[in-house]
Amino acid sequence: DAGVIQSPRHEVTEMGQEVTLRCKPISGHDYLFWYRQTMMRGLELLIYFNNNVPIDDSGMPEDRFSAKMPNASFSTLKIQPSEPRDSAVYFCASLQGTHYGYTFGSGTRLTVV
């Protein structure tokens, strides 16, 4: 298996622009998570899905953030409009069942200038 695939690896955008981050989970995994990592706050859970349904989005910082999972093999995290304080590494992770650890993607490093 190719693991959890995220794209792009790096994104530099100007403040006010829309940013879309993409994630392909491992086939057969029924949970998908979006995390954000910063020096100040560490790893923060933004939202997670179970069987493509959003379960908990309480970590999404503002209405500027939205996430979708239209099918079992694809999810997006969108920021519109982006702000410099959104600069971070965004990780996607997937999980099968509840007895195992997550498998993380390589992350997307977002820089908003």
Partner 1 sequence: AQSVTQLGSHVSVSEGALVLLRCNYSSSVPPYLFWYVQYPNQGLQLLLKYTTGATLVKGINGFEAEFKKSETSFHLTKPSAHMSDAAEYFCAVREGGYSTLTFGKGTMLLVSP
* Size of the residue set binding partner 1 (CB under 8 A): 23
Cβ distance 89 to 36 under 8 Å? yes
Query: Comparing C-alpha atoms, which of 81, 90, 85 is closest to residue 23?
Result: 90
Residue 5 interacts with partner 1 (CB under 8 A): yes or no: no
* Residue 103 is a binding residue for partner 1 (CB under 8 A): yes
Q: Is 104 in the site for partner 1 (CB under 8 A)?
A: yes
Q: Is 100 in the site for partner 1 (CB under 8 A)?
A: yes
How far is it, in rounded angstroms, from Cα 88 to Cα 83? 11
In the region spanning residues 50 to 69, those forming contacts with partner 1, defined by CB under 8 A, are: 50, 56
Distance, CA of 4 to chain centre: 11
CB of 94 to partner 1, least distance (A): 11
